[in-house]
Amino acid sequence: MGNEILENNKLISEFENRAFGMSVASDYKGDIPLGLVRGLKYHTSWDELMPVVEKIESFGYSCEIELFSCYVIDSETLSTIIECHYNSKIESVYKAVIKFIKSHT
């Protein structure tokens, strides 16, 4: 697994406010162990990725997934704020989640 995937999975886990199956205390400041980061499968598992999509939607955005594209839309203005097109549906959603987190946290 490449460093970029490891860093992105760590970023998503921190956004999700979850550390490897356990809630993270709000004052959690420690570095997440690399071995645990390697166990994350946001990039290949819908079971891990979809709760993150639902969290994004809980902030007033909608995620539209079609074919190999993912759009994050501001539900108030109906404007597309993130648009990703990649080789697979899960890759498009994964990259859209990463872009959202980087631009909204």
CA distance to 31, 51, 67, 95, per residue, from 91 (Å): 26, 16, 11, 6
> Which is nearest to 56 in space by CA: 91, 7, 87, 99?
99
Q: Is the dihedral of CA 4, 91, 46, 29 positive or negative?
A: positive
Confidence of residue 30 (pLDDT cuts 50, 70, 90): low
Q: Give the range of the structural domain holding residue 69, as residue numbers without chain letter.
A: 3-104
The 10s digit of each residue's pLDDT in 49-85 is: 999 999 999 999 999 999 999 999 999 999 999 999 9
Dig out the tokens for 42 from the structure.
């946001």
Query: What pTM was estimated for this model as a whole?
Result: 0.83
Domain count, the chain: 1
3-state secondary structure of 99: helix
Tokens, residue 89: 């549906």
- CATH code of residue 49: 3.30.2120
Task: Answer for the pair 28, 10: CB distance below 8 angstroms, yes or no.
Answer: no
Residue 31 neighbours by CB under 8 Å, 6+ apart: none
The whole-number average pLDDT for the span 6-20 is 80
